[in-house]
């Protein structure tokens, strides 16, 4: 998914309440448990505006970033002036001990081809042996608590906006369509309209895909709290796996 310029500009305001500090500590906990040193090379694959990357750099890790969205990458570079960034996948060296790709990048890959291409790229950054951390939508949890349409307001450059997300599905939430409308709250003028499609996965689908790419030592967590095991009520999953020679 490539966000429009305006969506990229307002991205941080839309997600102002997202707890990046807590999420960063969860990532750091995984890295520490794997006994990966702070001198090791780490890649944020789909780094967006660079807030996870900033948190890890502040702790003392050496993190690089990759994103195809030029506006988001510009913000990430401003936040992380000492980091290396890539906008072209072909420029990324196969040199990383740990790669993470979060905030549902995997779930934006809705076709088998796009999933395989994504995993090919992520795995292609690892200097084996190394580790990969991904997250996405967990189908059993969605079926128990389906996503619903919602609205929220936010402020950007002293203007008030309303973000409306309309949810629909035609296959029992295997793929969910999110129609996103952003209005100027003062005059109700439409500023942006985008449609996002996200795929939800059964754990066994993820295991099969990971193993087909040579992954092993697969561990699932609740995507909202890595201290919890993934269960039927988890709305999102996180999965950690190893690539070895």
Sign of CA dihedral 69, 203, 242, 63: positive
According to the model, what pLDDT value does residue 1 have?
A: 53
* Residue whose C-alpha is closest to residue 93's, from 27, 168, 41: 41
Structural domains in the chain, CATH included, are 5-138+200-243 (3.40.50.150), 141-199 (2.20.130)
* Average pLDDT value over all residues in the chain: 94
* Residue whose C-alpha is closest to residue 147's, from 107, 185, 120, 177: 177
Element at 123 (helix H, strand E): helix 112-123
Per cent of the chain over pLDDT 70 is: 98
Count how many Cα atoms sit within 13 Å of the Cα of residue 244 in the half-sphere of its side chain.
Answer: 6
Give pLDDT tens digits for 13-67. 888 888 999 999 999 999 999 999 999 999 999 999 999 999 999 999 999 999 9
According to the model, what pLDDT value does residue 22 have?
A: 94
According to the model, what pLDDT value does residue 42 have?
A: 98
Question: What is the Cα gyration radius of the chain?
Answer: 18
Give pLDDT tens digits for 54-108. 999 999 999 999 999 998 999 999 999 999 999 999 999 999 999 999 999 999 9
Torsions phi, psi of 75, nearest 5?
Answer: -65, -40
| C-alpha span between 41 and 152 (Å, rounded) | 38
């Amino acid at each position: 998914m490539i966000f429009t310029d305006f969506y990229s500009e307002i991205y941080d305001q839309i997600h102002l309440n997202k707890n990046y500090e807590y999420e960063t500590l969860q990532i750091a906990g995984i890295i520490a448990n794997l006994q990966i040193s702070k001198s090791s090379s780490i890649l944020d694959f789909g780094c967006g505006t660079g807030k996870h990357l900033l948190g890890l750099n502040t702790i003392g890790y050496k993190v690089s970033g990759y994103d195809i969205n030029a506006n988001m990458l510009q913000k990430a570079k401003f936040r992380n002036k000492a980091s290396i960034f890539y906008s072209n996948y072909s420029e990324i060296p196969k040199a990383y001990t740990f790669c993470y790709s979060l905030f549902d990048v995997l779930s934006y890959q809705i076709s088998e081809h796009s999933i395989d291409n994504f995993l090919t790229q992520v795995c292609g950054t690892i200097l084996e042996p190394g580790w990969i951390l991904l997250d996405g939508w967990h189908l059993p949890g969605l079926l128990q608590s389906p996503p619903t349409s919602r609205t929220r307001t936010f402020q950007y450059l002293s203007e008030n906006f309303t973000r409306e997300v309309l949810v629909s599905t035609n296959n029992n939430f295997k793929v969910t369509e999110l129609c996103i409308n952003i209005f100027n709250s003062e005059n109700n003028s439409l500023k942006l309209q985008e449609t996002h499609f996200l795929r939800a996965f059964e754990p066994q689908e993820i295991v099969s895909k990971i193993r087909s790419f040579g992954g092993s030592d697969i561990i699932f967590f609740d995507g909202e709290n890595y201290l919890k095991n993934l269960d039927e009520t988890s709305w999102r999953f996180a999965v950690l796996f190893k690539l070895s020679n």
